[in-house]
Structure 1
Amino acid sequence: MVEHQRRPGWAEVEDFLSATLVQGGTEMAAVIESIDAAGMPRIEVAPTAGKLLMLLVRIQGARRVLEIGTLAGFSTIWLARGMPDGGHVTTCEYLPEHAAVARRNLDVAGVGSMVDIRVGAALDTLPTLLGGEPYDFVFIDADKSNNVNYLKWALKLTRPGSVIVMDNVIWEGTILDPDADPDAGAIRAALEFMGASPLLDATAIQTAGSKGWDGFAIAVVRQGSATLGE
């Protein structure tokens, strides 16, 4: 009788995929070190998710990217890496101390000139972007309580054909019991908004790895639609 070997855990599989496929380089390892050194929360996207963001930006052909939630710049670097020369990322970070860490990491990674960090509450800084060229790609990864508001602003600042990605949409499955967790209720409301909006075609993908049981939603702004007004 052959003894069954222990199956690798989610995190171990993720480590293998990161080493084999992602290969983020020393810059990304330095970002993680900066997060720990600054005592910041380890809530950055997984390396596999960061590489996916880069590929989605590249597939989209995005030249203008908006990120809501910078932290230490881990996902920001991946987003910038997906763009061609002349591409630009606008990223919104609530805390000045986090923005300062991110700025150093972006500069070390060689993408600092491509990134503008807007410091302050995103619901205050996003209105300052109105009237500019629309964004081709939006990544939402900030406080969950404002996810619906962030989606509404994403629609105001994009164009038909733009892509919107929202992180942390499974939340260990608590979206099925939204009354048990305010964040779960806010995430569920955002998913319901995406599903009901005539301006979006959306789906969600569940993930399992170092971040536990989670996932992300991805949507395309419908062709032929006007974005939300006031």
Structure 2
Amino acid sequence: MNQEEYIRSLFVQPDEVLDHVTKSIKQQGMPSISVSPEGGTFLTMLVRIAGAKQILEIGALGGYSGICLLRGLRKEGHLTSLELKQEYADLAHENLKKAGVGEQVTYRIGEALDSLEQLEKEGKTFDFFFIDADKPNYSNYLEYCIRLANPGAIIVADNVLWHGRVYDETDQEDSTRALRAFNEKIAEDSRLESLLIPIGDGMATARVKEK
């Protein structure tokens, strides 16, 4: 048993709803890149601890993370999910409906940076952010999240260890370099309190300081 299996054996319970989401993603030929089961448990717990009412998700895929986020959300809360592809958002919404939380989500389709710019123009703010989309734009997404954040908001980003590639200095692939830059930014930004949590493929977690 390795570290990941040990954590999962203790803290992740069987979940038919999330198992269905995983199967539906495979059946649709979509990439199997949802947040890890223990990462999903972590998201639910963090949202609940934060008492979040408004969540912004960047990258919906098939709805796995969306369900985990909404499970921690207050009943009057809402999830805004940004997704590049309409077919991914459609599957995610269908899965959220089956999970009984489909009424609490709104999808915005298209390039996430365009949607973030529009949200800023609309004056939208959020209590919790989850970044799990194209890696080269992680630092750009982080900057928007900080600008859209309510004081004390939580920002979480997945895949920041990139299967160990970020600390392999010989790996100079574009996504790897982008994630290294993101990790350095979230660690050093004076507007944030942050830490990299080594569960799943690594989850960078930050709190936006009150001004």
Q: TM-score, normalised by structure 2?
A: 0.93
Larger radius of gyration: 1
Question: 2:76 matched to 1:86?
Answer: yes
Alignment correspondent of 2:206: 219
1:207 Cα shift?
2.8
1:22 Cα shift?
2.9
Alignment correspondent of 1:160: 151
1:178 Cα shift?
6.9
User: Contact 1:24/1:47 (CA < 8 Å) preserved in 2?
Assistant: no
Aligned length: 209
Distance in 2 between the 1:178 and 1:147 partners? 21
* Aligned match for 1:76, one of 58, 63, 66: 66
2:208 partner amino acid: V
Alignment correspondent of 1:139: 130
Distance in 2 between the 1:109 and 1:153 partners? 30
SS in 2 for 1:117: strand
Distance in 2 between the 1:178 and 1:125 partners? 35
Q: Which moved more, 1:40-49 or 1:177-186?
A: 177-186
Distance in 2 between the 1:182 and 1:42 partners? 21
Alignment correspondent of 1:64: 54
1:206 Cα shift?
1.7
Percent identical: 42
* Aligned match for 2:164, one of 173, 182, 189: 173
1:196 Cα shift?
2.5
Q: Unpaired runs of 5+ in structure 2?
A: none
Alignment correspondent of 1:16: 9
1:162 Cα shift?
0.5
Q: TM-score, normalised by structure 1?
A: 0.85
1:133 Cα shift?
4.2
Deviation readout 1:27-81 (Å, 9 max, x if unpaired): 1111011001101111001111101100000000000000101100000001001
